Amino acid sequence: MSRPSRSRLAAVLAEYGIIVAFVVEVIVFSAASEHFLTVANLANVTLQTSVLAIIAAGMTFVILTAGIDLSVGSLVAISGVVCALLLKVEGPVPAVIALGIAGGIAVGLLSGCVSGLVISRFSVTPFIATLAMMTIWRGAAYLLVGGRPVWGLPEAFDFLGSGRLLGVPFPTVVMFGVYAVAWFVLAHTPFGRYVYAVGGNPEAARLAGIRTFRVIVLVYVVSGVLAAVSGILLASRMSSGQPNAGLMFELEVIAAVVVGGTSLFGGRGGIVGTFFGAMLIGVLRNGLNLVGVGSYVQQVVLGFVILLAVMLDQVRKQS
Amino acid sequence: MSNVSKSYPGVTALEDVDFELVAGEVHCLVGENGAGKSTLVKLLGGAELPTRGRISIAGAQLTVREPVDSLRAGIGVIYQDFRLVPHLTVAENISLGLLPRRAGMPVIDWPATRERAERLLAMLGEDVPVDLHVAELSPAQQQMVEIARVLGHDVRIVAMDEPSATLTGRELANLFRVIRRLVARKVGVIYISHRLDEVDEIGDRVTVLRDGRKVGTFAASELDRSTLVRHMVGRELGAERSREARSAGGVMLRVEGLRREPVVRDVSFELRRGEVFCIAGLVGSGRTEVARLIFAADLKEGGRIELDGREIAPRGPREAIDLGIGLLTEDRNQQGLIMQLSVRDNILLSGLRVLTRRLAIDWRRADEIGWGFVDSLQIKTPGIHQKVMHLSGGNRQKVVLARWLFTKARLLLFDEPTKGIDVAIKGEIHGMLRDLADRGIGVVVISSDLPEVLAIGDRIGVMREGRMSAILDRRDATQQRVMELATASDSQTEART
């Protein structure tokens, strides 16, 4: 029995509804503002969104296992601060920068391991475990620097956040790299398929011989490391380590993933959706700015977009 | 119900079905899986809305928009998956939605709630402690709570979807007693079951559905078994293939003193190459647990397991799988399969590492292997990318089997392999079990279906209260004997052994 092509089209639209929404959004803003559809502006939006989008890639792994990672915003701060502090060490500049980056990423790695272990070994719900990590890392960031930003970083470090590679802003390059790898991992490696399996039915996955414990730990490590990467890029862009960086990031990131069609119940969704989810939110901000809508209103609009996205997702699931 | 139809996107589940229930009768609804029995009951209960057709009670047309409309009209439905709230008490569950209030105050009247529950349970002749949480009850007790709940709504019709699926023999006898009480109160009962013995025993009339259409309604007394089966499947079934006892080879699996308190106390048995070993016993006797211990889904507290002469002690399912063991769980949907994933991905899940070349999965080979199993096991699916949630029970079972064939398992543990699977595919699965054993794969089958146990088992172990109370040769086994061993009290078996 071959299914009629009409329903296949509907299925494709449902699967990639976020792309359609994104295209519509771009068309609307193009009509509303002549400044929107310019190379400079689009490059700017992408750059502005890259930090958020990188974290969202990691969050996608976590949410696919039916988990959540609230610690990412605080991780942006602590990894940025740790990186900045290490950059103050005496020594040859390249070595110091490498040390700073390694230190920042190590914090993300450590945090992911701890969250993953607490969740999988002690059956703590992800919400609570990562809420605790969120509080710990934010406090630690303030403690490390006495609440004051760390200034005076080596000039060469600015490249990460403000430099360009073949004319493309470096954070944008990192973002595309992260998405390419994340897509490959989810679609083409056993680990990626295990993520879907564990999120879809953890008990069945375990009985199928998947070491669910490892999968859970790894997704939080991915999330933690990518949050740290974003933290370092942000520190570079601000030429400082800010202990209050990334406040409320976790919520925007979760919004991007959910708007992108990944189910909070796990097992359904993917990285392509998240990319467009993040971009949709970035473009919304940018477009509303261009047409002169203030940031308070933007906040309200964004809230409605999230609501709409989850409602559509439910409708789609039932049909 | 007249001319009732229900379509889902792409499927017509019911087509122009007329159904009539008389007060005080037990009307059985039979048919293979997918015949539309559950759909009919869902329409009646308002869980789903009919695409076309009318439902009327005592001549008055009924408009059902949601479940509460049916309940108000006097229709109570006991669904297959109970709809109780696990962490509320029995009393609260029974009065859920109409909890008694203290006069004039928005405060629950607890004594009245308890009393009401006790009164309704007493009408069933049941004695369930009303202060326990529902989660602490056995499935049979939960079912009684469901029945008591609908009775509280003054129902005139009670519909039960496969009520016997989780019941043991004694519990079933009790359910029948309750049904007779309902009938005596002039309640009409709709009874769905796969087990035709039950239809014989409790049914006044029988309506047969096939492929969403009604085949006919018959008086139960005028209908013999073979006619009924013919109506259900639409063709004659060959007589059960009689088999000779197989000459079995050497010992393949030896289990000695297996223990995990409190469910498994002391279990020993051997499986010889080429034979099918069945484990019978009541639900709760520890059968499922034995399979889970061998597969290391749970870890044993004591005892030895030898596979092909070597002691094994896997510390988790992954290690058990690497040793060549596969478990086909009773609850395929919750424990066997990942519904959102495709047929192919479910088959390959346990062996993806084998297909990985330089980090990436070789999807071309994966597709070939997927199609290979779909063809060889005759899995009915539009393709390997179909999500398993769209497959029928029997085909889902084949997908799980394919998984273990792909991992090249040498020992397969089947827990209720044909539960909820229709008659036609059942025979097919029995054939597969036999073939597997003939090919030298160890086959252990846990089953509550006694005719099945007798049909496929070369030897039959009977479990009772965590112990293997007897092992019978197929020559010595009868339904009567197995049932006696499974239900005997301790003193009786001691006298026999």
3-state secondary structure chain B: CEEEEEEECCEEEEEEECCCCCCCCEEEEECCCCCCHHHHHHHHHCCCCCCEEEEEECCEEECCCCHHHHHHCCEEEECCCCCCCCCCEHHHHHHCCCCCECCCCCCECHHHHHHHHHHHHHHCCCCCCCCCEHHHCCHHHHHHHHHHHHHCCCCCEEEEECCCCCCCHHHHHHHHHHHHHHHHCCCEEEEECCCHHHHHHHCCEEEEEECCEEEEEEEHHHCCHHHHHHHHHCCCCCCCCCCCCCCCCCEEEEEEEEEECCCEEEEEEEEECCCEEEEEECCCCCHHHHHHHHCCCCCCCEEEEEECCEECCCCCHHHHHHCCEEEECCCHHHHHCCCCCEHHHHHHHHHHHHHEECCEECHHHHHHHHHHHHHHCCCCCCCCCCEHHHCCHHHHHHHHHHHHHHCCCCEEEEECCCCCCCHHHHHHHHHHHHHHHHCCCEEEEECCCHHHHHHHCCEEEEEECCEEEEEEECCCCCHHHHHHHHHCCHHHHHHHC
Residue A71 C-alpha from the chain's centroid: 12
Cβ of B327 and A7 within 8 Å? no
CA-nearest residue to B382 within chain A is A1
User: The dihedral of CA B275, B279, B280, B283: what is its sign?
Assistant: negative
* pLDDT band (50, 70, 90) for residue B34: low
pLDDT at A6 over 70: no
> Which residues are CB-neighbours of B217 under 8 A, at least 6 positions away?
B20, B205, B206, B207, B208
Packing angle of the helix pair A39-64, A271-290 (nearest 10 deg): 140
Write down the pLDDT at residue B8.
62
Give the tens place of pLDDT for each residue, A156-173. 999 999 999 998 999 999
* pLDDT band (50, 70, 90) for residue B28: very high
Name the residue facing A190 among B318, B321, B361 (closest C-beta): B361
Q: Give contacts of B322 with chain A, Cβ < 8 Å.
A: 209
User: The dihedral of CA B141, B461, B458, B321: what is its sign?
Assistant: positive
Q: How far apart are CA B395 and CA B404, in angstroms?
A: 15
Average pLDDT in the B208-226 region? 85
> What letter would DSSP give residue A92?
-
Q: Give contacts of A3 with chain B, Cβ < 8 Å.
A: 10, 382
Query: Same CATH topology for B2-233 and B251-496?
Result: yes
Cβ of B318 and A1 within 8 Å? no
Least confident of A7-11, A31-35, A84-88: A7-11
Q: How far apart are CA A93 and CA A306, in angstroms?
A: 44
Cβ of A193 and B352 within 8 Å? yes
B411 touches chain A (CB under 8 A): no
Phi, psi of B277 (to 5 degrees): -105, 120
Write down the pLDDT at residue A15.
65
Cβ of B341 and A209 within 8 Å? no
* pLDDT band (50, 70, 90) for residue B242: very low
| A25 falls within a domain | no
Name the most confidently modeled range: A36-40, A60-64, A166-170, B215-219: A60-64
Number of structural domains (chain A) is 1
Average pLDDT in the B82-93 region? 85
Name the residue facing A188 among B345, B361, B403 (closest C-beta): B361
Average pLDDT taken over every residue of chain A: 91
Q: Which of A130, A141, A153 is nearest to A239 (CA)?
A: A153
Name the residue facing B318 among A190, A203, A211 (closest C-beta): A211
Average pLDDT in the A289-293 region? 92
Name the residue facing B360 among A189, A197, A267 (closest C-beta): A189
Cβ of B349 and A208 within 8 Å? yes
| A214 falls within a domain | yes
CA-nearest residue to B298 within chain A is A207
Where do the domains of chain B lie?
Answer: 2-233, 251-496
Burial of B477 (0-12, 13-18, 19+ CB in 10 A): buried
| A16 falls within a domain | no
Cβ atoms of B21 and B188 closer than 8 Å:
yes
Q: B22: how many CB neighbours lie within 10 A of its CB?
A: 10
Q: How far apart are CA A290 and CA A28, in angstroms?
A: 12
Q: How far is A99 from chain B (nearest CA, A)?
A: 29
* pLDDT band (50, 70, 90) for residue B240: very low
Cβ atoms of B150 and B95 closer than 8 Å:
no
> Distance of CA A16 to CAs A8, A11, A274, B94, B293, Å?
12, 9, 11, 45, 44
B104 touches chain A (CB under 8 A): no
Name the residue facing A204 among B9, B318, B338 (closest C-beta): B338
> Which residues are CB-neighbours of B488 under 8 A, at least 6 positions away?
B464, B469, B496
* pLDDT band (50, 70, 90) for residue B69: confident
Q: How far apart are CA B178 and CA B165, in angstroms?
A: 16
Cβ of B317 and A208 within 8 Å? yes
> What letter would DSSP give residue A157?
G
CA-nearest residue to A267 within chain B is B340
B361 touches chain A (CB under 8 A): yes
Write down the pLDDT at residue B37.
85
Name the residue facing A200 among B320, B339, B359 (closest C-beta): B339
Cβ atoms of B266 and B293 closer than 8 Å:
no
pLDDT at B347 over 50: yes
pTM: 0.76
3-state secondary structure of A218: helix
> Which residues are CB-neighbours of A239 under 8 A, at least 6 positions away?
A151, A153, A157, A158, A161
Strands B188-192 and B26-30: parallel
The ipTM of this complex is 0.79
Among all chains, which residue has been given the structure tokens 């958020």? Answer: A52
Tokens of B129: 């402690």
Q: How far is A261 from chain B (nearest CA, A)?
A: 15
CATH class for domain B251-496? alpha beta
pLDDT at A5 over 80: no
B342 touches chain A (CB under 8 A): no
Give the tens place of pLDDT for each residue, A170-219. 999 999 999 999 999 998 999 999 999 999 999 999 999 999 999 999 99
Give the tens place of pLDDT for each residue, B297-334. 999 999 999 999 999 999 999 999 999 999 999 888 88
> What domain range is A266 assigned to?
40-318
Q: Give contacts of A189 with chain B, Cβ < 8 Å.
A: 356, 359-361
Q: Give contacts of A193 with chain B, Cβ < 8 Å.
A: 341, 345, 349, 352, 361
Least confident of A25-39, A180-194, A260-274, B414-428: B414-428
Among all chains, which residue has been given the structure tokens 């993917």? Answer: A270
Name the residue facing B350 among A200, A209, A267 (closest C-beta): A209
Q: Residues for chain A: how many in total?
A: 319
Residue B446 C-alpha from the chain's centroid: 12
3-state secondary structure of A55: helix
| A7 falls within a domain | no
Among all chains, which residue has been given the structure tokens 């190459």? Answer: B273
Q: How far apart are CA B479 and CA B459, in angstroms?
A: 13
Q: How far apart are CA A195 and CA A104, in angstroms?
A: 26
Least confident of A188-202, A295-309, B474-488: B474-488
* pLDDT band (50, 70, 90) for residue A18: confident
**Residues 276-335 of chain B whose Cβ lies under 8 A from any Cβ of chain A:** 295, 297, 316-318, 320-322, 327, 329, 334-335
B337 touches chain A (CB under 8 A): yes
Phi, psi of B462 (to 5 degrees): -110, 125
Name the residue facing A189 among B345, B359, B403 (closest C-beta): B359
Cβ of A189 and B361 within 8 Å? yes
Average pLDDT in the B190-213 region? 86
Q: How far is B406 from chain A (nearest CA, A)?
A: 12
| A31 falls within a domain | no
| A17 falls within a domain | no
Cβ of B337 and A204 within 8 Å? yes
Write down the pLDDT at residue A177.
97
* pLDDT band (50, 70, 90) for residue B289: very high
User: The dihedral of CA B16, B21, B22, B26: what is its sign?
Assistant: positive
Tokens of B326: 């596969």
B9 touches chain A (CB under 8 A): yes
Name the most confidently modeled range: A311-315, B136-140, B386-390: B386-390
Cβ atoms of B162 and B31 closer than 8 Å:
no
Cβ atoms of A223 and A73 closer than 8 Å:
no
Q: How far is A270 from chain B (nearest CA, A)?
A: 13
Write down the pLDDT at residue A39.
92
Name the residue facing B382 among A1, A189, A201 (closest C-beta): A1
Q: B490: how many CB neighbours lie within 10 A of its CB?
A: 11
Q: How far is A98 from chain B (nearest CA, A)?
A: 27
Question: Which one of B315, B328, B340 makes the best mutation probe of the A interface by having the most chain A beta carbons within 10 Å?
Answer: B340
pLDDT at A227 over 70: yes
Write down the pLDDT at residue A251.
92
CATH topology of domain B2-233: Rossmann fold (3.40.50)
Q: How far apart are CA B178 and CA B123, in angstroms?
A: 9
| A225 falls within a domain | yes
Size of interface A-B (CB pairs under 8 A): 82
| A75 falls within a domain | yes
Q: Give contacts of B340 with chain A, Cβ < 8 Å.
A: 196, 200, 267-268
Q: Give contacts of B388 with chain A, Cβ < 8 Å.
A: none
Using an 8 Å CB-CB cutoff, list residues of chain A that contact chain B.
1, 3, 7, 184, 188-190, 193-194, 196-197, 200-201, 203-211, 267-268, 319
Where do the H-state alpha helices sit in chain A?
A: 5-15, 17-32, 39-64, 72-87, 93-121, 126-145, 158-162, 170-188, 190-200, 202-207, 212-237, 249-259, 271-290, 295-318
Q: Which of A104, A248, A238 is nearest to A171 (CA)?
A: A238
Q: Give contacts of A211 with chain B, Cβ < 8 Å.
A: 316, 318
pLDDT at B495 over 50: no
Write down the pLDDT at residue B402.
94
Q: How far is B184 from chain A (nearest CA, A)?
A: 41
